[in-house]
Structure 1
């Protein structure tokens, strides 16, 4: 049983497969793939802290598992732990430097840090803005044409100026890879 619905364009049905992935984790508690899929079930439910716990265990089981790193960074971002998001994404990029979503996570986290600082009255931090813009441009270069949108164009434009950054809800990019 997998989370894949019938049809090539169907989204995964994590709820239908949840019990199977939970059983896989119970049977193989150090298996990176089982832990990753257990995390995906929780991520789909909106249980970001528990999903992050599963993704962290998956990374601990296989420190080269790009999917788990990426989703751990996603959880950090969604939980508002922006520093951890950057650290996890950088660790992923040390192993796999061409993953657009990791560059995007760094850009969104740094943008969010800057927007929060601006909201608290701090002036623009040009170094952080340049780093965020650089990460966002790298994400654009690496993405496959479906992820980039107006939101990213707006972020890039805002990062180039001195005006306080508007707060935006975190938007993450999907990253999929299959491992056997």
Structure 2
């Protein structure tokens, strides 16, 4: 239990640290950040429940006002922006990613983590992100989906990185990989 809590806190801190990578805000107000890589890694490394818990801890700290989002944003106001759907989708994305990695034991870990990151960390997250942009920007589903296409190349790169990082971590420290344990 203590080890799980430590890893949950560590991965919440990883998401925060990835927020230090300079963000690039698109014209419609949603930033491109490295933090989604952290969300993917929460699922691929910690598994479904612990990964989602790490993201929920991170979001709770943001809601309390800590400036942990890319660009030093934090507080409840961060949940009233066009990116709110993505933020709400983060714990679900981590859960789905972790669940898929745990179920796909027949695939090599790096491949399973990469594919799970695409499904959970991109597709699932985009569903929430599109809905959030529809509400906050008063866009149709088609218009919001068109806006999201700007994120695809970077997110695919992050999913590939998540696969490689997870496989490398499993090789270097097999006991630290909880998604298949």
Q: Same fold (TM over 0.5)?
A: no
Larger radius of gyration: 1
Structure with bigger RCO (C-alpha 8 Å, 6+ apart): 2
Using the size of structure 2 for normalisation, the TM-score is 0.29
Higher helix share: 2
Q: Please, what TM-score do these two structures have when normalized by structure 1?
A: 0.29
